Amino acid sequence: MVGMTVIQTPADWRTDQDPGGLVQRYDDVRGHTERLAAPLSPEDQTVQSMADVSPTKWHRAHVTWFFETFLLAEHESGFAPFQDQYWFLFNSYYETLGPRYSRPDRGLITRPGVHEVGDYRANVDDRVRDLIARLDDGTLAALAPTIELGFHHEQQHQELLLMDIKHVLSRNPLQPVYAGAPPPRSEPDALGWVDVEGGLVEIGHDPTTQGFCFDNELPRHRQWLEPYRLADRLVTNGEWLAFVADGGYRRHELWLSDGWSRVNAEGWTAPLYWSEVDGVWFEHTLHGTWPVDPGAPVCHVSFYEAEAFATWAGKRLPSEGEWEHAVVSTGLSSTGAPAGGAYHPRAAGPATGGLRQVHGECWEWTSSAYHPYPGFHPPPGAIGEYNGKFMSNQMVLRGGCALTSPGHARTTYRNFFPHAARWALSGVRLADGGAPR
Amino acid sequence: MVGMTVIQTPADWRTDQDPGGLVQRYDDVRGHTERLAAPLSPEDQTVQSMADVSPTKWHRAHVTWFFETFLLAEHESGFAPFQDQYWFLFNSYYETLGPRYSRPDRGLITRPGVHEVGDYRANVDDRVRDLIARLDDGTLAALAPTIELGFHHEQQHQELLLMDIKHVLSRNPLQPVYAGAPPPRSEPDALGWVDVEGGLVEIGHDPTTQGFCFDNELPRHRQWLEPYRLADRLVTNGEWLAFVADGGYRRHELWLSDGWSRVNAEGWTAPLYWSEVDGVWFEHTLHGTWPVDPGAPVCHVSFYEAEAFATWAGKRLPSEGEWEHAVVSTGLSSTGAPAGGAYHPRAAGPATGGLRQVHGECWEWTSSAYHPYPGFHPPPGAIGEYNGKFMSNQMVLRGGCALTSPGHARTTYRNFFPHAARWALSGVRLADGGAPR
Amino acid sequence: MVGMTVIQTPADWRTDQDPGGLVQRYDDVRGHTERLAAPLSPEDQTVQSMADVSPTKWHRAHVTWFFETFLLAEHESGFAPFQDQYWFLFNSYYETLGPRYSRPDRGLITRPGVHEVGDYRANVDDRVRDLIARLDDGTLAALAPTIELGFHHEQQHQELLLMDIKHVLSRNPLQPVYAGAPPPRSEPDALGWVDVEGGLVEIGHDPTTQGFCFDNELPRHRQWLEPYRLADRLVTNGEWLAFVADGGYRRHELWLSDGWSRVNAEGWTAPLYWSEVDGVWFEHTLHGTWPVDPGAPVCHVSFYEAEAFATWAGKRLPSEGEWEHAVVSTGLSSTGAPAGGAYHPRAAGPATGGLRQVHGECWEWTSSAYHPYPGFHPPPGAIGEYNGKFMSNQMVLRGGCALTSPGHARTTYRNFFPHAARWALSGVRLADGGAPR
Amino acid sequence: MVGMTVIQTPADWRTDQDPGGLVQRYDDVRGHTERLAAPLSPEDQTVQSMADVSPTKWHRAHVTWFFETFLLAEHESGFAPFQDQYWFLFNSYYETLGPRYSRPDRGLITRPGVHEVGDYRANVDDRVRDLIARLDDGTLAALAPTIELGFHHEQQHQELLLMDIKHVLSRNPLQPVYAGAPPPRSEPDALGWVDVEGGLVEIGHDPTTQGFCFDNELPRHRQWLEPYRLADRLVTNGEWLAFVADGGYRRHELWLSDGWSRVNAEGWTAPLYWSEVDGVWFEHTLHGTWPVDPGAPVCHVSFYEAEAFATWAGKRLPSEGEWEHAVVSTGLSSTGAPAGGAYHPRAAGPATGGLRQVHGECWEWTSSAYHPYPGFHPPPGAIGEYNGKFMSNQMVLRGGCALTSPGHARTTYRNFFPHAARWALSGVRLADGGAPR
């Protein structure tokens, strides 16, 4: 393991440094992954339905590899890898760590099977707990950011695991179900607007709060915003059905040129996972296939669709700065309360005068390209590849979704996907105003 | 099941019409499939490593679907399918039977899992046994050809199951092993030649023998052969190593133009499954990865490679007529004895003066395009799609291989693969002479 | 020009060895190429509309390169190439002669332009005439086969030049016309049949005739044919319209599997160059776009279409042996009279009791794969690449077509194209019988 | 021509409304196109070397179509198109105007040839002059913006014509030359920096200046900039050679992930048009192929390369706001002086304390995605497709280049290309600072 670089973290990353508390959180996060995988058979956990998707057992192994590589390999005395080839098989994209197994071929690896992956997880868990127990306070303080990053990394993969298996199951004409019944059907709700003053505002993670953030949320910086307003809830399926009925997917003038090419090349006529049977639209969910619920937020739309819908509605998408400033300035807590038990976005609750559905339903497309904040520098070493190298050809999404793990969402959190991606649980919040006076 | 066509068989297909014997053979064939699948985990049985390969559990289900579709659906009173969607999922290529699931996506289907496929098999087995027991003699005589075809169909898939899982396991850097140790290493053996007179010969299945054949082995017809000779054994790995060392894969003048394009486009430098480590060639087998055995027959070469090798050796490939006539005229039994227990071709036994390794080691590429015999007509209905529609862009292979099921090989048997296919267990027998005097 | 190999010709190639006659024929052949190119603008002569097509000016330069490379470079004292880079640019596919310019990019080369290509042709012409004038009788006798091959090579490219420019012009919505009015419209004509005895027949070029042939027409060899019969004329457009109207392009059961895939992937609904406007079928020809003539032979159909049509008609395609033997045994002259002035196949003349439209209308698909004759060996050196290396994945066509140069067709001539090729001027003659009795 | 929409222009577009002056400018702009095409043969003008490139004669026809469509079709009494099919052939991308000829196939159209395109140009020119002469003042004032847009549109295509033919000629191993000798070789020059204060600045076209702009330069709006500095000249070939020598194209850590994929997939080792012969780097230019000039600006690099270079240099690319504000605030005139006579960027002149090479050498990549300005709305009708629909997946470039037509560049001008594009004449200016304090 020569040449491994210690993770450098920004000065403002702080984390729990109590060994007992750390182990407790470790067990919570790790256990959550296993609970999510539990309903899935070995066959389910093996398949990769497209290049963007990874098999469940690959997720389970990769997050384990992350702890083994960035924590144990650096700090365990007498470290030896659990299995030499796992180093190669379960590296996701870290060029710094040498050659790795081809991403689009992850679904070809039948072994290790789900049980051997379980053994791998158990082995690393024991060794991590053991390492934490042995560390002196100073070393623990130095390693805590790496462990904390491992938690958030695993939570990201928990969300991906669910998005990915949703896609896998969607390819099966037998319409398999991951979990029990979906949220109850709902009634459409009037759309309200929240006005925001704007001005010279600060965007990005606030170091004085001392909470965790990814490097791409830094540095905090100033940005000028003209007055604007945001919709107080997400666009609903009912509204999307009106867009479809009005020829939304057939009118070129609503679309960006690249989006229109996709519509035609891939035959889009509705969000991913929608299908029409005898004039009724159905939606594949992790709870089975059900008629589309008009009151629930539309999800699994691409940036192109979100943008075309906004054009059709005579509105626009918010910038990520507008989104973040609106959430902060209207006094919402920085971490939302994700859905309990349901793996699908729910209809908005009653109007509050403020923003609804900020965290916990759908990731919200913004009009902002995923670019570095002014002054951004990735940390040195392999961990510098975590976020920075992906800052092109993608758009920022904000908020969180029904599949986001508890405690993972954050107001300054910058999620990102390519313009045409639809398998993420992505939705739309409209914006208006913001133009020069 | 409206519109299903009764299988039409040539008048010369005969089969066992004793119910007890038929059930016994049914159980033997069906049981053999399950024995082959037994060492494979659910994960192993799910994956499709390329479009040509099918998952193990798909093979197990498809051969079951064949009996359900062509036997039960036609003749079981009150027939209802085991599961409606299986009709769609497990149809391989029968256009006559309606839409079917996309072949290259077979590896995306996680459910039914291996256990549900087992339930499907058990259910159909019970119903077939029951049907046979209830039939009167006349009906049994009418159905026997369909049942017989189901046996041979399942045997074909037994061989494919092994070829396919070999490819799946080959993609895994952990080098998984399907079965115990390989055949013992062997010593190279001198090549002998068998002279054949030729003349106006008869080719194709002989109806007077009353044994089973596929439709593509008919009709028996006359062909003119000039005198020729065949090598008495297959080309060995040792001989192939000499070809490689002599620049066989780098000399354009040895290759057909299409073959040379493949060599360059796919970077071929040796047979599929060979890899060089520190100057030593290793071979992936179902028994693990071992140094190439110079005395064993070369296998997993394409038609292009076989043809280039023959050119390099100053020889040629036999036509399928030459191959068949030589085997018949030199008095070999029409069905060879496949390998027992080993899933890899073995070195030739001592010279006999006749042809060695005719059945049971490697399918042998011929110089013959896979075309219909003069007067060939496929049977009407869905079963007419079994062979006839594939008669273009493929070459005939003869003999059988180490993975062929016991009793399945036959002197008139016409196997076929595209010119560039390498994942079949294909080898080379040289020919000479045969030119006009 | 080190390493150039003298062309080896079979002992039975004979050619004119009178210098004056040779120069006269040289001028005739070379002049014909220029006459064919004359109606084409510089823009027309530059474009490559698909990888199979070559630009007109490339054809004009390549056939010149052939004489420069295989004749002048070997035998001109003090030889220097006209332009060093032309060696690279105008080599078609001779691997032996080193690297060459990428075939699919031939349409990217704007220079040399048409005038510089004209200069190249004039220069080589002068030098060839000069060389012939200086040679003593013995040397001339030795070189005559190479010169003769150059004639036939250039004639092949004359035909290709016309097929290729037809494709180029077809892509233009302005519907450009290459030459004057098409043949007059004709009336459908009854189909007759010609019976042929068969037996042990001889196929291939007869060396005792001493005429020129390509290497792939050798060696002459014996073949067994059961009694059969051939249609006395080609399939007409009128018959093809009936096939289309009967769902020919929509009925899977008529097609080979590979053909059916093409039909669907490429949306075939009629021969290449047909288009339907308000219920009337039109055909793009070198004489402009005209309503399909029901009495003229159908052309620009692939092997797959020819085969599906024959299946629909309850007939089959002839083998190349059947075709050749029928023409020879029914006493037709070995070289047909191609069309004069028309660049499109004409309706058959009145029935004669024998075969009609054998040469000069459409190349006729056979059921024979393009494989070497028994005992075939390509000549050594670069010229050995002329035919032999293409003997896979193609089907043989016999006869000749309206675009074939005068004197180029021959009864033993083996033309060949891939199964799906449609831009050649290919048609269909039906066969029947020939099965074992 | 039913359904054509009058061009809507922003209230702040103003243009010359004197008929004589307008005709004079029309003749100047149109004549410049013909002068650029004059050195090119019919063959040169016909070819499309990749999908992004258009043939010279297509450019000449398309800009003519623009005047015919947006001016004559609307305002000429008794309008009839010059040729019906030209409407289809020479529409570039206006969906509103109906179906159009496939862009990647523009190089397949041999007719109309260069002379017929000349006739088309002459005809439209006459009619435009005639229309202008007949108009009353009010109508002329209403049409002037359309005519003005036609001028700027044609100038854009003049630049593209040169970039495109450069690519066409680059594919030819004969290394054709478009124009005489290149700029003289130069000496490297020290890099200086220009400090800019930033703050709350205004970006975008200033309507009070009344000059022409494209819709994407509007509306002018406020933006916050932290203090920053820009390099006073472009990155030189000499500096790029140091990047190459330091492994710039082999070190993953310098690259965005998408960029690194391109480097490997396309084998980038240097800018487009560079080639190494015996250790010396040469560059294909419109003046022929010459050794790379170390003092001249590097050009034909993609955004990915520009970004990787900046990372290697420890600097970054400027945002488009920084670029524009720096140019304005340091007092440079808004339109630069393009190169006279040379079709290749020249070395910087002596340092001035201010920015050098702002217009007239290379378009400069910025770190800004090509997105709409706040409050942007495209005009209604077909002309609304001019810019707005391309606002995704591209990056903004600023400045102008050696191929930009005189008078076309502008400080607020927003050029844009995809991240991987290299055939535009694109270079790099470094930036530094700008991070939050």
Note the pLDDT of residue C11.
Answer: 43
Euclidean distance between CA atoms C316 and B292, whole angstroms: 47
pLDDT at position D369 over 50: yes
Euclidean distance between CA atoms C211 and C160, whole angstroms: 23
User: Is A112–B85 a contact, with Cβ atoms under 8 angstroms apart?
Assistant: no
Q: Tell me the C-alpha to C-alpha distance, in Å, between residue C41 and each of C112, C122, D108, D123.
A: 15, 19, 14, 22
Give pLDDT tens digits for C87-113: 999 999 999 998 999 999 999 999 999
Residue D285 parent element (H or E): strand D280-285
The rounded mean pLDDT for chain D is 92
pLDDT at position D390 over 80: yes
Torsion, Cα A121 A122 A123 A128, to 10 degrees, reads 90
D10 confidence band (pLDDT: 50, 70, 90) = very low
By percentage, how much of chain A surpasses pLDDT 90? 81
Note the pLDDT of residue C336.
Answer: 47
Task: Identify the weakest region by mean pLDDT among A96-100, B254-258, B276-280, B425-429.
Answer: A96-100
Residue D116, both tokens: 């017929």
Note the pLDDT of residue A3.
Answer: 30
Residues A249, A269 contacting (CB under 8 angstroms): yes
- For residue C323, how far is the Cα from the chain centroid? 17
Residue B282 parent element (H or E): strand B280-285
D302 confidence band (pLDDT: 50, 70, 90) = very high
User: Is D108–C172 a contact, with Cβ atoms under 8 angstroms apart?
Assistant: yes
Torsion, Cα A338 A342 A347 A353, to 10 degrees, reads -20
A211 confidence band (pLDDT: 50, 70, 90) = confident
Euclidean distance between CA atoms B105 and B322, whole angstroms: 40
pLDDT at position A6 over 80: no
B137 confidence band (pLDDT: 50, 70, 90) = confident
- Average pLDDT value for residue range C402-420: 95
- Average pLDDT value for residue range C329-349: 71
Note the pLDDT of residue C152.
Answer: 97
Alpha-carbon distance D64 to nearest alpha carbon in chain A (angstroms): 24
Sequence letter at residue D236: T
User: Is A174–B105 a contact, with Cβ atoms under 8 angstroms apart?
Assistant: no
Q: Does D56 touch chain C (CB under 8 A)?
A: no
Alpha-carbon distance C294 to nearest alpha carbon in chain B (angstroms): 30
Chain D: residue nearest A252 by CA?
D95
A7 confidence band (pLDDT: 50, 70, 90) = very low
Note the pLDDT of residue A15.
Answer: 57
Chain C: residue nearest B201 by CA?
C224
Chain C: residue nearest D44 by CA?
C110
pLDDT at position B143 over 70: yes
Euclidean distance between CA atoms D6 and D143, whole angstroms: 9
User: Is A85–B173 a contact, with Cβ atoms under 8 angstroms apart?
Assistant: yes
User: Is C221–B435 a contact, with Cβ atoms under 8 angstroms apart?
Assistant: yes
| Among the partner residues C95, C252, C393, nearest to B393 by beta-carbon distance | C393
Interface of B with A in 13-42 (CB under 8 A): 41-42
Sequence letter at residue A291: P
Half-sphere exposure (CA, 13 Å, Cβ side) for A186?
Answer: 19
Q: Does C193-433 match C19-170 at the fold level? A: no
- Average pLDDT value for residue range A76-99: 93
Q: Which residues of C touch B375 (CB under 8 A)?
A: 434-436
pLDDT at position C14 over 60: no
**Cα-based angle C145, C151, C153 (whole degrees, multiple of 5):** 100
pLDDT at position D17 over 90: no
pLDDT at position D216 over 70: yes
Give pLDDT tens digits for C43-68: 999 999 999 999 999 999 999 999 99
Task: Identify the weakest region by mean pLDDT among C222-231, D323-332, D354-363.
Answer: D323-332
Domain ranges across chain D: 19-170, 193-433
The rounded mean pLDDT for chain A is 92
Give pLDDT tens digits for B171-189: 999 999 999 888 788 887 8
Cα first-last separation, chain A: 59
Whether CATH 1.10.10 fits D19-170: no
Q: Which residues of B touch C375 (CB under 8 A)?
A: 434-436
Give pLDDT tens digits for A126-150: 999 999 999 888 888 889 889 999 9
A8 confidence band (pLDDT: 50, 70, 90) = very low
- Helix, strand or coil for residue C225? strand
Residues D379, D9 contacting (CB under 8 angstroms): yes
Q: Tell me the C-alpha to C-alpha distance, in Å, between residue B176 and each of A57, A110, A430, B39, C302.
A: 18, 9, 53, 12, 46
D15 confidence band (pLDDT: 50, 70, 90) = low
- Give the torsion sign (CA, D12, D15, D18, D19): negative
Give pLDDT tens digits for D54-72: 999 999 999 999 999 999 9
Alpha-carbon distance A174 to nearest alpha carbon in chain B (angstroms): 7
pLDDT at position A334 over 50: no
Q: Which residues of A touch B45 (CB under 8 A)?
A: 43
Give pLDDT tens digits for D403-414: 999 989 999 999
Euclidean distance between CA atoms D45 and D60, whole angstroms: 10
Residues B240, B304 contacting (CB under 8 angstroms): no
Alpha-carbon distance B84 to nearest alpha carbon in chain A (angstroms): 9
Name the β-bridge partners of A316: A431
- Helix, strand or coil for residue B398? strand
Q: Does C200 touch chain B (CB under 8 A)?
A: yes
Task: Identify the weakest region by mean pLDDT among A144-148, B53-57, C30-34, D205-209.
Answer: D205-209
Task: Identify the weakest region by mean pLDDT among B2-16, B417-431, D88-102, D419-433.
Answer: B2-16
Residue D417 parent element (H or E): strand D415-417
Q: Which residues of B touch C374 (CB under 8 A)?
A: 226, 434-436
Q: Does B107 touch chain A (CB under 8 A)?
A: yes
Q: Does D433 touch chain C (CB under 8 A)?
A: no
Higher model confidence: residue B20 or residue A64? A64
Alpha-carbon distance A61 to nearest alpha carbon in chain B (angstroms): 15
- Average pLDDT value for residue range D12-28: 78
User: Is B257–C390 a contact, with Cβ atoms under 8 angstroms apart?
Assistant: yes
Euclidean distance between CA atoms D348 and D346, whole angstroms: 6
Note the pLDDT of residue C137.
Answer: 87
Among candidate residues D406, D407, D394, D402, the one with its CA nearest the CA of residue D426: D402
Euclidean distance between CA atoms C344 and C341, whole angstroms: 9
**Cα-based angle B192, B197, B203 (whole degrees, multiple of 5):** 105
The residue to which tokens 């493929």 are assigned: B394
pLDDT at position D338 over 80: no
| Class of domain D193-433 (CATH, top level) | alpha beta
pLDDT at position D227 over 90: yes
User: Is C95–B222 a contact, with Cβ atoms under 8 angstroms apart?
Assistant: no
Torsion, Cα B344 B349 B354 B360, to 10 degrees, reads -20
Give pLDDT tens digits for D88-133: 999 999 999 989 999 999 999 999 999 999 999 999 999 999 999 9
Higher model confidence: residue A436 or residue D150? D150
| Among the partner residues A200, A252, A436, nearest to D224 by beta-carbon distance | A200
| Among the partner residues A45, A89, A171, nearest to B108 by beta-carbon distance | A171
User: Is B111–A168 a contact, with Cβ atoms under 8 angstroms apart?
Assistant: no
| Among the partner residues A41, A108, A112, nearest to B171 by beta-carbon distance | A108
The rounded mean pLDDT for chain B is 92
Q: Contacts for A251-255 with beta carbons within 8 Å, 24 or more apart?
A: A251/A312, A252/D95, A252/D96, A253/D95, A253/D96, A253/D384, A254/A308, A254/A311, A254/A312, A255/A304, A255/A307, A255/A308, A255/A311, A255/D389
pLDDT at position A340 over 60: no
Q: Does B384 touch chain C (CB under 8 A)?
A: yes
Euclidean distance between CA atoms B67 and B146, whole angstroms: 9
The residue to which tokens 């006559």 are assigned: B96
- Helix, strand or coil for residue B274? strand
Among candidate residues A148, A76, A82, A152, the one with its CA nearest the CA of residue A117: A82
- Average pLDDT value for residue range A319-336: 81
Q: Does C55 touch chain D (CB under 8 A)?
A: no
Whether residue C207 has a cis bond before it, omega within 30° of 0: no
Note the pLDDT of residue C106.
Answer: 96
Note the pLDDT of residue B318.
Answer: 98
C13 confidence band (pLDDT: 50, 70, 90) = very low
- Return the partners of chain B (3 or more C-beta pairs < 8 Å): A, C
Q: Which residues of B touch C393 (CB under 8 A)?
A: 258, 393, 419
Give pLDDT tens digits for C163-219: 999 999 999 999 999 998 887 888 878 999 999 999 999 999 997 876 899 999 999
- Average pLDDT value for residue range A15-30: 86
Pick from D102, D201, D217, D253 the residue to mutate for testing the A interface (most A CBs within 10 Å). Answer: D253
ipTM, two decimals: 0.94
Please, do chains B and D touch (3+ CB pairs < 8 Å)? no
User: Is B219–C384 a contact, with Cβ atoms under 8 angstroms apart?
Assistant: no
C342 confidence band (pLDDT: 50, 70, 90) = confident
Q: Does D250 touch chain A (CB under 8 A)?
A: no
Residue B182, both tokens: 């390989």
The rounded mean pLDDT for chain C is 92
Q: Which residues of C touch D42 (CB under 8 A)?
A: 41-43, 46, 113
pTM of the model: 0.94
Residues A220, A11 contacting (CB under 8 angstroms): no
Residue B195 parent element (H or E): strand B193-196
Q: How many Cβ contacts (< 8 angstroms) between chains C and D?
A: 91
pLDDT at position B58 over 70: yes
Note the pLDDT of residue D16.
Answer: 57
Q: Does D96 touch chain A (CB under 8 A)?
A: yes
Q: Which residues of A touch B176 (CB under 8 A)?
A: 110-111
Chain B: residue nearest A178 by CA?
B111
Q: Does D117 touch chain C (CB under 8 A)?
A: no
- Average pLDDT value for residue range D188-210: 91
